[in-house]
A and B are shown apart, each in its own frame.
Chain A
Amino acid sequence: MLNSSQPMFVVWGAQETLLYNDAYSAILADKHPAAMGQNFLDVWQEIRDDLLPNVEQAYRGEPVQMDDIELWMERRGFREETHFAFSYTPVRGETGTIDGFFCACQEITGQVNAERKLRESEARARADADRVRLALAAGAIIGTWFWDLPSDSFTVDEPFAKVFGTDPNLGRSGLSLEQVIATVHPDDRQGLITAIEAAIERGGPYVHQYRVSRGDGEYHWIEANGRVDKGADGTSLSFPGVLLDIEERRRTETALHTSEEFTRRVLASSGDCIEVLDLEGRLEFMSEGGMCAMEVDDFQLVRGAFWPELWKGAEKDSALTAVEEAKRGVTGRFQGFSPTFKGSARWWDVVVTPMNDAEGRPEKVLCVSRDITSTMHAQTALRETSRRLDAILNNTREAVFLIDHQQHCVYANAAAEKLTGYRAEQLQGRPLHDVIHHKKPDGSHYPIEECPIDRAFPTRAQMSGEELFIAPDGSFYPVGFTASPLLDDEGRPIGTVIEARNISEEKAREEALQEQKRILETLNRTGAAVAAELDLGRVVQTVTDAGVALAGAQFGAFFYTLHDDAGEALMLYALSGADQAQFESFGLPRATAVFQPTFDGAGIVRSDDILNDPRYGKNTPHHGMPQGHLPVRSYLAVPVTSRSGEVIGGLFFGHPEPGRFTEHHEQLMLGIAGQAAIAVDNARLYRDAQLEIKQRRRAEEQQQLLINELNHRVKNTLAIVQSLAQQSFRGEVSSDSALVTFRARLSALAAAHNLLTRRHWEKAHLSEILSSSVRATAGAASAQVTFEGPEVVVQPQTAVSLAMAVHELSTNAIKYGALSSDAGTITVTWKVSKDSDRPRLRLDWKEKGGPAVIGPTRKGFGTRMIERGLAAELQGKVVLEFPSDGLHCVIDAPLPKV
């Protein structure tokens, strides 16, 4: 045993002591030689747990066999993998107990290696076979792969590497899955990973389609076709596969799918009933839409039915004929009524067409039935509508035109023919505007762009109004129209409907009404105006204007007589429609045969043509209208007569055309004349009243002035009287004597006042003042006084001063001077010199024949009055001289300017 080249050992005794030969020492390696004689399990401390059951089994007397224990040994100078088979044989002692066991170790390394090589060879062969098989199965192989799962070695062939755009060298030496997946379309990556994982998990065949980016940057559909092989223990071992180009396949499939889907959808979506019959006329196919239209719930119920039999009545024959014709290769068509399978009433339009085979012979019959019930109903309704419309259009009095988008007339009803005077055919086919609306009354062109009727179409708005149409004879007639745009369902204008009617009569009536209204308004307005007007001039003007307006005259005049304040008759006039200048040179109308009846108030004169009137042209000098007179042919004259019967004047109207005035105008003018008369009367009354009021007011003012003046004078006079009293009763003069003096002075003052009152306190004559003052003072003795001088007018106030001065002179003369004796005389002379700018008065009061004069011892009132008062009053000089033969008073004063 020890020399055997087969490793052997014995484990002996209760100590399980190990004894071995040289060959085994190679297995023990470093444990040798120390292992000799040691406890077996201690020696194999590191695998004790594996060995213990075997050792115990052997000690229980049961042999133990261990196959293919892998051991790494360094027997030939290098470490190498070895494989051994061990068998423990129990060894019994004399007592039959187990003393130990014997083990012979058999090396099986060579066997194991041989087996491994075989297995690898088989796998390669199998992989090749698979590749071929799969390639054959799949057709268009564009690449192959082999994935050794335990070593995760992914190898691909060159085409595969090209597909995925990777380096073929790398493909041979092995790729990672990540590199492969990186070229896959992003949308397909997750799906691919999932499919791969599922295949590896599951094992067996694997098919997955996805897109890969090829060298050209485009993604192409490929199909990976492979299989996962699993070992006996269920672990996945290999995953070979091929790649197929399925781009074309997918395209074709998609196209096919699309085409089929299309056909299906066409058939399904058609509302028509599409049926296919065999040549015997039996129903083979009915489309979904057809089942719906025919109200067939289950096709099986009608499959195989003889198609013409499905029709009723006359339509059955039509159906039979159509099928027969289709069999001969002819398409047949008919329309007819037939209820559906559920009895709904339907109209159908049926086309029966042969379906030919490849040789062109009828093979089947295709029937397409279209439900035309609603069309039939619509046609019926349309016919009814048309009938009614025709009835309306041909009976209405309104002209109706239908105009197309080119403004051409496409329809005109009977009333339209009557309105225009054209037949419908004459109007049709050209713009209506060009026929009846192309000119304006002034002859100018009427552009269609300006025509409101034709604006309805472009503006899409209803237009209405009044226009003038042209009759075939070229005359114009007024129409009222409404133009309405015709819109289609989308609201686009497609034409215009024009309604029109002749409004000549309407307009005439309206104009007559307007005229009537205007007349009434004018009358009312005139009435109101003249009633409110108190100014005679304005009254007659208003009346004349109204008359012209109402009579439709070209011009008019109102001649009327007025009496001025002095009672003199004046003829005045107002004009309308003509300038004052056109009349002024002609003088006033005279009592000619034409005018006389009017001014006499005899009545209205109306002449359609005054030039041909027998009353016209009878008077000299003009024998008719004067040269340059307004051209009058139509003549109308109305007298205007006061309430009192007095003829105030006449209203005269003229027009250059004959026959303008009618009886109607006469009536109107009578109304105007009546209003005029009242207004003139009123104006006169008002004027008279105004005049009286004015006079009264003037009198009152005068009176107030007089009262004030009187007051002033009275007070002034009282002041003078007071002054006289004050001066008369002053000094040492006895009261009796003073009283006499005072009375005399008052008398002189009164005399002066009397004189002035006679002259209305306006002015007085010097001679009168002098003589009356002397007379008042001297009485009879005044005969001794003579006055001589020119007439001189003096102011009232001056007159009073003069009178008072003369009174003092006279009193002095009576007491001491010339008038104290009968022989004395006084000569009062005066003259007026005009040598300077103002005349001057020189007056001499000279006494003679009286007692010898002694100058006054003191200056009393008289001297003061004369020398100062009169001088101041006269603004001149007054000198008293006292020569012994008689007193001499000289007055030298300027006179007021004349």
Chain B
Amino acid sequence: MTDRPSVLILEDEPLIAFALEDMLLELGSKDVRLATTIAEALRLLDTHTPDFAVLDVNIRGERSYGVADELSRRGVPFIFATGYGDAEHPEVLKTVPTLSKPYGPDDLKSAFAAATGAVDKCDTS
């Protein structure tokens, strides 16, 4: 994860966000930015494009797919994290790796690998 030092977290539950932030820092991220609302996440994206993102799906009753679309557009790899066990993503986001809460560092690492590996593969092809 060191090759992707800047990470965006979209998570409306600060306690969970902190844990994720810690995990990311432990895994080598240098710059972790937290947004607890979708508006905030988009605001952050206005000034900075991260290298990676972890998006909670349900943000205060809203879906974070708008942010996911923006990330896809910019070619930023990302993963979803959700408390809903069987969340159904829209067709274009079906292949996005999804972490099911609660998750540990290993879950995060493999999801990260899945997300970035896929993108890397595309880049090198």
Query: Chain A residues in contact with chain B, CB under 8 A?
Result: 708, 711-716, 718-724, 726-727, 730, 797, 800-801, 804, 861, 864-865, 868-870, 872-873, 875
Cα–Cα, bound, A153→B25 (Å): 168
Cα–Cα, bound, A801→B15 (Å): 8
B84 lies within 8 A of A718 (CB): no
B14 lies within 8 A of A719 (CB): no
Chain A residues with CB under 8 A of B18: 723, 727, 861, 864-865, 868-869
21 A–B pairs (Cβ distance < 8 Å), ordered by A? A708-B84, A711-B83, A711-B84, A711-B85, A712-B58, A712-B83, A715-B101, A716-B101, A718-B101, A719-B16, A720-B16, A721-B102, A723-B18, A723-B19, A800-B13, A804-B15, A865-B18, A868-B18, A869-B15, A872-B36, A875-B37
Does any Cβ of A come within 8 Å of B31's Cβ? no
Does any Cβ of A come within 8 Å of B100's Cβ? yes
User: When A719-B16, A719-B83, A865-B14 are in contact, do A872 and B22 touch as well, CB less than 8 Å?
Assistant: no
Cα–Cα, bound, A875→B34 (Å): 12
Of B36, B85, B101, the residue contacting A719 (CB under 8 A) is: B101
Q: Contact mask B100-116 → A, CB, 8 Å, 1/0?
A: 11111000000000000
Contacting A at CB under 8 A, from B84-106, are 84-85, 100-104
A724 lies within 8 A of B15 (CB): yes
Chain B residues with CB under 8 A of A708: 84
Of A720, A727, A868, A875, the residue contacting B13 (CB under 8 A) is: A720
Does any Cβ of A come within 8 Å of B71's Cβ? no
Contacts A727-B19, A870-B14 known; 17 new A-B pairs at CB < 8 A: A711-B83, A715-B100, A716-B13, A716-B83, A719-B13, A719-B19, A720-B15, A722-B102, A730-B22, A797-B13, A801-B13, A861-B18, A865-B14, A865-B18, A869-B14, A869-B18, A873-B12
Contacting A at CB under 8 A, from B1-31, are 12-19, 22
Cα–Cα, bound, A804→B19 (Å): 15
Most buried by B among A804, A870, A872: A872
B85 lies within 8 A of A873 (CB): no
Give B81's nearest chain A residue, CB to CB.
Answer: A719
Does any Cβ of A come within 8 Å of B63's Cβ? no
Chain B residues with CB under 8 A of A724: 15
B12 lies within 8 A of A797 (CB): yes
Cα–Cα, bound, A724→B103 (Å): 13
10 closest Cβ pairs, A-B complex = A869-B14, A723-B19, A715-B83, A719-B101, A719-B102, A872-B36, A712-B83, A722-B102, A716-B83, A718-B102
Give B87's nearest chain A residue, CB to CB.
Answer: A712
Distance (whole angstroms) from the CB of B44 to the closest CB of chain A = 12
Chain B residues with CB under 8 A of A714: 83
Distance (whole angstroms) from the CB of A860 to the closest CB of chain B = 11
Of B22, B34, B60, the residue contacting A797 (CB under 8 A) is: B60
User: When A711-B84, A712-B84, A716-B83 are in contact, do A873 and B14 touch as well, CB less than 8 Å?
Assistant: yes
Chain A residues with CB under 8 A of B17: 869, 872
B22 lies within 8 A of A727 (CB): yes
Cα–Cα, bound, A90→B34 (Å): 199
Cα–Cα, bound, A724→B4 (Å): 27
B83 lies within 8 A of A722 (CB): no
Most buried by B among A719, A727, A865, A870: A719
Chain A residues with CB under 8 A of B22: 726-727, 730
Query: Chain B residues in contact with chain A, CB under 8 A?
Result: 12-19, 22, 34, 36-37, 58, 60, 83-85, 100-104
B85 lies within 8 A of A715 (CB): yes
Chain B residues with CB under 8 A of A797: 12-13, 60
Most buried by A among B15, B16, B22: B15
Distance (whole angstroms) from the CB of B57 to the closest CB of chain A = 10
Cα–Cα, bound, A861→B104 (Å): 19
Distance (whole angstroms) from the CB of A724 to the closest CB of chain B = 7
Chain B residues with CB under 8 A of A870: 14
A872 lies within 8 A of B14 (CB): yes
Of A712, A722, A726, A801, the residue contacting B14 (CB under 8 A) is: A801
Cα–Cα, bound, A723→B81 (Å): 14
Chain B residues with CB under 8 A of A726: 19, 22
Cα–Cα, bound, A865→B18 (Å): 9
A722 lies within 8 A of B19 (CB): yes
Give B23's nearest chain A residue, CB to CB.
Answer: A726
Of B14, B16, B37, B58, the residue contacting A868 (CB under 8 A) is: B14
Give B34's nearest chain A residue, CB to CB.
Answer: A872
Cα–Cα, bound, A663→B17 (Å): 87
A723 lies within 8 A of B37 (CB): no
Cα–Cα, bound, A690→B13 (Å): 43
Give A713's nearest chain B residue, CB to CB.
Answer: B83
Distance (whole angstroms) from the CB of A142 to the closest CB of chain B = 133
Chain B residues with CB under 8 A of A718: 101-102
Cα–Cα, bound, A789→B37 (Å): 28
Distance (whole angstroms) from the CB of B60 to the closest CB of chain A = 7
Most buried by B among A714, A730, A873: A873
Cα–Cα, bound, A861→B19 (Å): 11
Cα–Cα, bound, A864→B18 (Å): 8
Cα–Cα, bound, A421→B104 (Å): 116
Cα–Cα, bound, A713→B84 (Å): 9
Distance (whole angstroms) from the CB of A30 to the closest CB of chain B = 157
Chain A residues with CB under 8 A of B34: 868, 872
Most buried by B among A804, A861, A869: A869
Of B15, B83, B100, the residue contacting A865 (CB under 8 A) is: B15
Chain A residues with CB under 8 A of B19: 719, 722-723, 726-727
Distance (whole angstroms) from the CB of B4 to the closest CB of chain A = 22
Cα–Cα, bound, A17→B58 (Å): 188
Distance (whole angstroms) from the CB of A51 to the closest CB of chain B = 159
Distance (whole angstroms) from the CB of A809 to the closest CB of chain B = 15
Cα–Cα, bound, A719→B9 (Å): 15
Chain A residues with CB under 8 A of B103: 719
Cα–Cα, bound, A302→B60 (Å): 147
Chain B residues with CB under 8 A of A861: 18
B36 lies within 8 A of A873 (CB): yes
Cα–Cα, bound, A800→B16 (Å): 12
Give B85's nearest chain A residue, CB to CB.
Answer: A711
Cα–Cα, bound, A325→B34 (Å): 159
Give B84's nearest chain A residue, CB to CB.
Answer: A712
Distance (whole angstroms) from the CB of B33 to the closest CB of chain A = 11
Cα–Cα, bound, A467→B60 (Å): 87
Chain A residues with CB under 8 A of B60: 797
Distance (whole angstroms) from the CB of B39 to the closest CB of chain A = 9
Give A711's nearest chain B residue, CB to CB.
Answer: B85
Chain B residues with CB under 8 A of A873: 12, 14, 36
Distance (whole angstroms) from the CB of B65 to the closest CB of chain A = 17
Chain B residues with CB under 8 A of A872: 14, 17, 34, 36
Chain A residues with CB under 8 A of B15: 719-720, 723-724, 801, 804, 865, 869
Cα–Cα, bound, A865→B14 (Å): 8
Cα–Cα, bound, A870→B104 (Å): 24
Cα–Cα, bound, A730→B26 (Å): 12
Cα–Cα, bound, A864→B58 (Å): 23
Cα–Cα, bound, A714→B104 (Å): 16
Give B12's nearest chain A residue, CB to CB.
Answer: A797
Distance (whole angstroms) from the CB of B125 to the closest CB of chain A = 36
Cα–Cα, bound, A320→B21 (Å): 162
Give A714's nearest chain B residue, CB to CB.
Answer: B83
Distance (whole angstroms) from the CB of B103 to the closest CB of chain A = 8
Cα–Cα, bound, A718→B81 (Å): 13
Cα–Cα, bound, A242→B58 (Å): 152
Chain B residues with CB under 8 A of A801: 13-15
Cα–Cα, bound, A797→B83 (Å): 14
Cα–Cα, bound, A722→B100 (Å): 13
Distance (whole angstroms) from the CB of A590 to the closest CB of chain B = 55
Distance (whole angstroms) from the CB of B109 to the closest CB of chain A = 15
